[in-house]
Amino acid sequence: MLAGRRKEEKYRTVRLRAKTRSKRTDFDRIKKLLNEGWTGMLFYSVLGIAFAFLFSQGLAFALSTDTPVVAVLTSSMQHNNAEQTYYGWLESRGYERSDINSWSIPTGFLIGDMPIVVGDDNYKVGDVIVYSVPQESYPIIHRIIKINPDGTYQTKGDNNLQQYRYELSVKKEQIHGKVVFVFPKLGYFKVFATQVFGI
């Protein structure tokens, strides 16, 4: 009887080790599958997209805006010819240079930069805002230069010689938020995707 019990225990131990080995082998197979070849690329691509989406949604919630980051696609906010298109234009309309220099994002930004946007209830002259316009595919990133008597805003790109029609009356409902920080060059992937694929 004792010999029978020992034999049974030994048999259970062998079966348990085999199961453990089998589980380890299955885990190794899955691990290899997810790290090599097209299945690995697909897995990490899906994981990356899911992470980016969750990160974007978390950022949108934290910054109180539906557009927490944008990529700069045009040169309208560059300071290539600031004396003419920025200072000259504003000073000809009564603005003092000392006031202009006190505004946020004083040197503008470049194509490929990535501004961080925060939702706000109060926007003032000098704020760089991100807003949507029905006839444009992408949000506009321009500076508020005037608040109209009806509470709408006028904007202008720092590098533009004049305002566009849609900039003469921007409603608060169109605004996603204001730019509070700019990461240089981090938006180049979006610029590339826009130019190549039209995304």
Spell out the domain ranges in the chain: 2-63, 82-197
Backbone angles phi, psi at 116, to 5 degrees: -100, 130
Smallest CA-to-CA distance from 143 within 131, 153, 129 is with 129
For residue range 24-59, list pLDDT tens digits in order.
Answer: 566 666 666 666 777 777 777 777 777 667 777 777
Cα of 187 vs its chain's centroid, Å: 8
Contact 143, 128 (CB under 8 A): yes
Average pLDDT over residues 6-19: 59
For 82-197, CATH gives: 2.10.109
Q: Which two tokens stand for residue 97?
A: 């240079």
82-120: pLDDT as tens digits = 999 999 999 999 999 999 999 999 999 998 898 999 999
